[in-house]
Amino acid sequence: MNLLFAGYRFKNKIMSRLSPSNTAKGALNKFIRPRRSQLKSWENNAETLGIRFAISNEISAIRWLPLSGDTSAEPKTLLLVHGWESRATQMYGLVPKLLALGYKVIGVDMPAHGHSTGKISHAEAFVQTVLLTQEKLGVFDAVIGHSLGAGASSLALSRGLLTKKLVLISGPSSIENVLRNFSKFVGLNNRATEKFLDHASKMVGKQPAEMDAINSTSDIEVSTLIIHDHHDFEVPISESKRLIPKFVNAELYTTSGLGHRKILKSEKVIEKISDFLR
């Protein structure tokens, strides 16, 4: 924890007592503004191998086409949904294997992420963008989501997302848990945390219970592979474990030592996903 953040957290602890509502508003304003980072060299390469196109005036996506071969049939399509403060190209480690399986892969940048415009984003915006992508491009044969992208994908199932196969990697099942963990991380006390949840609900027009995949839909019959690492300290594995009973046809595949982000580049994980999609 650097000194600047330590100071910010200490200030929130004090101000939570003096002005819980205003302190919560300030924390929420920080929470909904994702940081952007420069593309890494391997991401630049991923960009050159794909084709950029627009889902809407605000939302950018990239398309990677399958390897040359039998072109007599339309290739299956797969949607990649990245996580918070990430972007489509950061999931490129999965793409070569997916192309080899014959999938046309679409990676969409969420609002205020990657090549998409805007400064503000949140879980509901992720869900709406997933549904918009389906509306514009049609139903996907498979969807792979990571982190908040996984959480948004599971929530989108109750709003009309249709797919034959679903892969959820390191995702939260409850957005309320995400909000509570963030409020604790930035030093809000219990009273300010409740204000934080209230302000967030009013902003997106959804109550916390509506942003919980456990409550949002009936039993899910989509064939699903849920992947999580035991040493994920950003989204604990308990989030995936509580989701399992909601799925009629799901498998939980666990790893150890990969954490929250390295899991996307693990050869074992990529092979597991390939076997599932194959």
What pLDDT, on a 0 to 100 scale, did the predictor assign at position 1?
A: 60
pLDDT tens digits along 32-53? 999 999 999 999 999 999 999 9
Residues 76 and 105 both lie in one domain? yes
Q: Count CA atoms within 13 Å of residue 6 on its CB side.
A: 3
207 within a domain of the structure (yes/no): yes
Residue numbers in the chain where pLDDT is lower than 50: none
* Other residues' Cβ atoms within 10 Å of the Cβ of residue 272: 17
What pLDDT, on a 0 to 100 scale, did the predictor assign at position 239?
A: 96
Residues 256 and 138 both lie in one domain? yes
Q: Is the distance from CB of 68 to CB of 131 less than 8 angstroms?
A: no
Pairwise CA distance, residues 241 & 252, whole Å? 8
Residues 55 and 2 both lie in one domain? no
What pLDDT, on a 0 to 100 scale, did the predictor assign at position 50?
A: 97
What pLDDT, on a 0 to 100 scale, did the predictor assign at position 71?
A: 53
Residues 78 and 138 both lie in one domain? yes
Residues 234 and 203 both lie in one domain? no
Point out the domain boundary residue: 190, 211, 232: 211
Structural domains counted in the chain: 2
Domain residue limits at 119: 50-173+216-277
What pLDDT, on a 0 to 100 scale, did the predictor assign at position 72?
A: 53
What pLDDT, on a 0 to 100 scale, did the predictor assign at position 209?
A: 84
What pLDDT, on a 0 to 100 scale, did the predictor assign at position 74?
A: 80
User: Strand 140-146 and strand 76-81: pairing?
Assistant: parallel
Tally of helices (H runs) and strands (E runs) in the chain: 11, 8
pTM of the model: 0.94
Q: Which helix (H) or strand (E) holds 100?
A: helix 95-100
pLDDT tens digits along 252-266? 999 999 999 999 999
What pLDDT, on a 0 to 100 scale, did the predictor assign at position 27?
A: 96
